[in-house]
Amino acid sequence: MNAGLKPKLTLPFSNEPSAKMRRPLEGVRVLLGEAKDEPAGSARSILIFQGAREVTWRRNIPGMQEALEDSLYDLVLIDQQLPGGDALEFVRKLRRGEIGENPFVCLAVLRWQPGKAGVDAALQSGADDLIAKPIAAMAVATRMKLLCDRRKPYIAAKGYIGPIRAQMSMGLSSAEQFEPPNTLKATAIGKPLDAATLKKALSEANQNVSAAIIETAAAKFSAYAYSLKDAIDGEDKAEATTLTGKLKETGATVRSAVEGSPHVKLLPVILRLNALVDLAQFGEKEASGAAALTAEMADAVARTLKGRPDDISALTEDLLGQIDARFPAIAAAVAEQEGAETAA
């Protein structure tokens, strides 16, 4: 009879015969998002039994966000039905770097009876994996070993940031892959990353992500500008007004993505693109030409970032030259805006 016997849950994190047998979560810091006491208690017991040094438990999404702002974790487990917001949108924001300091933390979504649609939705958010509830000790051990030994490379394209998947669109499957920092693996094998090494790894990975975010926003900005030119040329005032609003909203997104990113050298170009939108107003003398140049310049930004250039200075100088030559007032308007912001 095997009743009462506990399964062997220690797994080697190396293929070498002499590899030390370690518990799957040896020394790992875990953030758990679970609303109810009983499943949270069971999950915490399993995680601690498997070696977790710390398990921080939060009952809602605002609590999860606050925890990530205050501390770094090696593993995040979040229930898909966690109250206080949309758990999968939380994952997307985390991957975009809008929450916490490590967009590449190992993350698994917890879900009762995960059908195909639920699995697809969770994975499309950028999660590393999905674990069925109630959490089973062996399932956690197996998943953690996979995340340590064979974590999938990441991609950042078309608004998606996360692991490569077996089934992806052409635009995603052709995106450049990169290895995300994996503090879960480093801690589990007994070689945690020091602050300087982690900072460098995060900086290198963030370059791929920021370029993809700016590229996607710039391409959207360009598409709206081309449509605006058509609306202006066709004298469709209502459509032109709608598109102008969308351009201003998207322009703010592009600027936000550029500021503080490794591609901040593009900021003078983005400021001019946003200023061009003010000239591309229905009824303005130069509206059609301004809309066309806006589209062309945004297109150039998107194409260049798609190639992941090491230095975008040449692109910046070329675009600034074209914009300032065709619309001299733009440079003056941007300089005035920058002066006002500096003074404030």
Residues 36 and 92 reside in one and the same domain? yes
Write out pLDDT tens, residues 39-62: 899 999 999 988 999 999 999 999
What is the rounded average pLDDT for all residues in the chain? Answer: 83
Q: Has residue 239 been placed in a domain?
A: yes
pLDDT at position 209 over 90: no
Q: What is the CATH number of the domain that holds 128?
A: 3.40.50.2300
pLDDT at 170: 57
Residues 184 and 247 reside in one and the same domain? no
Q: How many CA atoms lie within 13 A of 243 on its CB side?
A: 26
Residues 336 and 216 reside in one and the same domain? yes
Q: Has residue 3 been placed in a domain?
A: no
Q: Which residue has the tokens 């109810």?
A: 36
pLDDT at 15: 43
pLDDT at 13: 40
Residue range of the domain that includes 33: 11-188
Residues 178 and 40 reside in one and the same domain? yes
pLDDT at 341: 59
Write out pLDDT tens, residues 280-325: 888 888 899 889 988 988 888 888 777 655 556 666 777 778 777 8
pLDDT at position 12 over 90: no
Residue scoring higher pLDDT (86 or 142): 86
Q: Are 79 and 53 in contact (CB under 8 A)?
A: no
Phi/psi at 283 (5° precision): 95, -15
Residues 274 and 239 reside in one and the same domain? yes
Residue 192 has a CB neighbour count (10 Å cut-off) of 16
- State the helix-helix crossing angle for 287-306 and 313-326, rounded to 10 degrees: 180
C-alpha 221/C-alpha 179 separation (Å) is: 29
Confidence of residue 1 (pLDDT cuts 50, 70, 90): very low
Phi/psi at 260 (5° precision): 80, 0
pLDDT at 5: 34
pLDDT at 176: 75
In single-letter form, the type of residue at position 122 comes to: A
**What pTM was estimated for this model as a whole?**
0.69
Residues 168 and 278 reside in one and the same domain? no
Q: Has residue 45 been placed in a domain?
A: yes
Angle at 162 between CA 270 and CA 158, to 5 degrees: 40
Phi/psi at 156 (5° precision): -140, 105
Q: Are 147 and 109 in contact (CB under 8 A)?
A: no
- 266 secondary structure, DSSP code: G
- State the helix-helix crossing angle for 313-326 and 267-279, rounded to 10 degrees: 20
C-alpha 331/C-alpha 344 separation (Å) is: 20
Residues 181 and 232 reside in one and the same domain? no
Q: Has residue 194 been placed in a domain?
A: no
Confidence of residue 340 (pLDDT cuts 50, 70, 90): low
pLDDT at 226: 95
Q: Computed from CA positions of residues 334, 339, 340, 342, in that sequence, does the dihedral angle turn out positive or negative? A: positive
Write out pLDDT tens, residues 146-205: 888 889 999 887 778 889 887 766 567 667 788 899 999 999 888 888 888 888 888 888
Q: Has residue 193 been placed in a domain?
A: no
pLDDT at 311: 55
Residues 137 and 44 reside in one and the same domain? yes
pLDDT at 171: 62
Residues 171 and 43 reside in one and the same domain? yes
pLDDT at position 208 over 90: no
Q: Has residue 328 been placed in a domain?
A: yes
Q: Find the mean pLDDT for residues 81-107.
A: 93
Residues 85 and 31 reside in one and the same domain? yes
pLDDT at 108: 94
pLDDT at 307: 65
Q: Has residue 164 been placed in a domain?
A: yes
Q: Are 294 and 273 in contact (CB under 8 A)?
A: yes
C-alpha 47/C-alpha 7 separation (Å) is: 15
Sorted by sequence, the CB contacts under 8 Å of residue 77 that are 6+ apart come out as 30, 31, 32, 33, 34, 43, 107, 108, 110, 131
Instruction: Indicate the SS3 state at residue 327.
Output: coil
Query: Last residue of a domain, which of 136, 157, 188?
Result: 188
Joined tokens for residue 331 = 């440079």
Write out pLDDT tens, residues 228-270: 999 999 999 999 999 999 999 999 988 888 887 778 888 888 8
- Which value, to the nearest 10 degrees, does the dihedral of the CA atoms of residues 77, 81, 86, 91 take? 20
Residues 181 and 210 reside in one and the same domain? no
C-alpha 66/C-alpha 64 separation (Å) is: 5
Write out pLDDT tens, residues 95-127: 988 899 899 999 999 988 767 887 888 888 999
Query: Last residue of a domain, which of 188, 220, 251?
Result: 188
pLDDT at 11: 38
Burial class (CB in 10 A: 0-12, 13-18, 19+), 162: buried
Q: Has residue 331 been placed in a domain?
A: yes
pLDDT at 254: 86
